């Protein structure tokens, strides 16, 4: 008996849930019809105006032209959003659709001619009156007659959101349109922000180091993140941070065959130090930053202290190749502390190789020194963030 009651309650709950879904779907259905209606009416109006003012067409010709374009737009979006394959599109539905528009067209013509010739209302006002009446009629005919059956079919399917095809199409269109480089860079920005936040709440001190600055987009962003989180930091000098950026500002230089990659070409990464410096100065608001120009084999072969760097809070390696990344890791070995964050871009390039690119350099660095790193999160098209959770290498500790 108890089981029976619980089953009835469960069914009731499910029914209420599916009822609220069905209300939501009804609202979305109506707004979908409305959206198509509004858009097609705008197209209709546009072509009506163009016909009259650009082509000096007569009233009837202009009404027919506008109405035809409105019909095409309504049919185009109706096909994608309403007559989709899921709803078993039938030829009869199509003929009903055309018939409704045909009747609507005749009524529009009739009302507009009466309004214009009998009541002398003027072309535009007559068009509005005729179109308003037809829009209402078309909306009712489409909803209650042409697409009457489709709700039944839609209701048979499980799940509410899966029925909102037009939202899926809209989302898919927007997402497929966005350039992948934009997606990656936005996520890179988020990754930098997250790391600033995480290191702030853990009270990690040290400097920000970026290897591969190019035109300074991510470098400037890091400064902005710092400036925006600065007020949350404990007010002591330990948390003052300097920003260091390393780059040739002239691309990769001569790459050996192991580092060759079709995407990493000098031409893409040539820029000028004064341009980048000027760009960063504009957003730095007095923050200490230094850009070190030159190829890593030279600029990173010295002790970090020669640049005034004692420890690192955030290390961002965005220099793409194995050799550039390995120079960067070696340079940082004395600077990494418990809680230092490493942001490694393009971790899966070189066809996912474990021995090439950033991933290869990181693997070699880890096997050479006894650091413990834990992965924190991934971002964009294969970027990864790690935190140093422990340093067990006595040799490294001695170096400090």
Ligand X SMILES: C[S@@+](CC[C@H](N)C(=O)[O-])C[C@H]1O[C@@H](n2cnc3c(N)ncnc32)[C@H](O)[C@@H]1O
Count of residues of this chain found to bind ligand X when the rule CB under 6 A is applied: 18
Spatial strand order in the sheet of 289-293? 289-293, 243-247, 207-211, 312-317, 341-344, 383-391, 371-379
Among 138, 239, 324, 349, binds ligand X (CB under 6 A): 324
> DSSP character for 115?
I
Among 160, 251, 339, 382, binds ligand X (CB under 6 A): 251
- Output 45 or 295, the one with its CB closest to ligand X: 295
What's the CA gap between 215 and 312, in Å, rounded?
Answer: 22
> DSSP character for 256?
P
For residue 251, the minimal CB distance to ligand X (Å) is 5
For residue 310, the minimal CB distance to ligand X (Å) is 23
Contact of 328 with 358, CB cutoff 8 Å = no
For residue 304, the minimal CB distance to ligand X (Å) is 16
| DSSP of 9-57 | HHHHHHHHHHHHHHHHHHHHHHHHHHHHHHHHHHHHHHHHHHHHHTT--
**289: contact with ligand X by CB under 6 A:** no
What's the CA gap between 16 and 64, in Å, rounded?
Answer: 48
**217: contact with ligand X by CB under 6 A:** yes
**296: contact with ligand X by CB under 6 A:** yes
Using the contact rule CB under 6 A, the part of the chain among 160-168, 234-242, 316-324, 385-393 near ligand X is: 316-324
**328: contact with ligand X by CB under 6 A:** no
**29: contact with ligand X by CB under 6 A:** no
- Output 44 or 321, the one with its CB closest to ligand X: 321
What's the CA gap between 121 and 359, in Å, rounded?
Answer: 74
For residue 273, the minimal CB distance to ligand X (Å) is 11
- To 10 degrees, what angle do helices 165-177 and 59-81 make? 90
**255: contact with ligand X by CB under 6 A:** no
**45: contact with ligand X by CB under 6 A:** no
Among 47, 77, 97, 214, binds ligand X (CB under 6 A): 214
**160: contact with ligand X by CB under 6 A:** no
- Output 343 or 388, the one with its CB closest to ligand X: 343
Among 93, 312, 315, 320, binds ligand X (CB under 6 A): 320
For residue 213, the minimal CB distance to ligand X (Å) is 6
Residues 46, 50, 53, 56, CA torsion sign: negative
Contact of 306 with 334, CB cutoff 8 Å = no
- Output 160 or 294, the one with its CB closest to ligand X: 294
For residue 182, the minimal CB distance to ligand X (Å) is 12
What's the CA gap between 132 and 263, in Å, rounded?
Answer: 56
| Reduced 3-state DSSP string for 203-230 | CCCCEEEEECCCCCHHHHHHHHHHHHHH
Among 45, 145, 197, 295, binds ligand X (CB under 6 A): 295
Write out the residues near ligand X by the rule CB under 6 A.
212-214, 217-218, 247-248, 251-253, 269, 295-296, 318-321, 324
């Amino acid at each position: 008996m108890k089981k029976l009651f619980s089953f009835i309650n469960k069914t009731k709950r499910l029914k209420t849930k599916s009822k609220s879904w069905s209300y939501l779907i009804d609202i979305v259905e109506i707004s979908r019809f409305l959206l198509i209606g509004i858009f097609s009416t705008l197209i209709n109006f546009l072509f009506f105006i163009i016909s009259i003012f650009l082509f000096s067409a007569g009233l009837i010709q202009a009404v027919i032209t506008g109405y035809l374009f409105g019909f095409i737009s309504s049919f185009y979006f109706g096909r994608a959003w309403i007559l989709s394959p899921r709803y078993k599109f039938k030829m009869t539905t199509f003929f009903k659709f055309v018939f409704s528009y045909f009747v609507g067209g005749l009524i529009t013509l009739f009302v507009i001619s009466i309004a214009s010739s009998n009541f002398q209302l003027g072309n535009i006002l007559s068009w509005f009156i005729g179109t308003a009446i037809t829009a209402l009629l078309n909306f009712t005919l489409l909803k209650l007659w042409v697409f009457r059956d489709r709700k039944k079919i839609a209701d048979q399917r499980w799940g509410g959101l899966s029925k909102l095809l037009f939202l899926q199409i809209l989302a898919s269109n927007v997402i497929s349109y966005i350039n992948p480089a934009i997606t990656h860079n936005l996520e890179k920005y988020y990754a930098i922000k997250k790391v600033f936040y995480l290191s702030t709440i853990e009270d990690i001190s040290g400097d920000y180091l970026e290897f591969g600055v190019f035109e300074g987009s991510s470098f400037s962003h890091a400064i902005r993140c710092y400036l925006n989180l600065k007020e949350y930091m404990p007010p002591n000098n330990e948390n003052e941070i300097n920003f260091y950026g390393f780059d040739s500002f002239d691309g990769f230089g001569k790459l050996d065959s192991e580092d060759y990659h079709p995407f990493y070409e000098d031409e893409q990464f040539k820029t000028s130090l004064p341009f980048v410096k000027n760009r960063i100065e504009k957003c730095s608001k007095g923050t200490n930053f230094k850009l070190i120009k030159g190829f890593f084999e030279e600029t990173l072969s010295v002790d970090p202290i020669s640049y005034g760097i004692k420890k690192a809070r955030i290390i961002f390696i965005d220099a793409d190749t194995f050799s550039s990344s390995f120079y960067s890791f070696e340079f940082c070995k004395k600077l990494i502390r418990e809680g230092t964050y490493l942001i490694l871009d393009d971790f899966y390039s070189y066809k996912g190789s474990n021995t090439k690119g950033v991933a290869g350099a990181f693997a070699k660095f880890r096997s050479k020194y006894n650091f413990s790193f834990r992965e924190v999160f991934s971002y964009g098209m294969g970027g990864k963030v790690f935190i140093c959770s422990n340093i067990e290498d006595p040799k490294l500790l001695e170096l400090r």
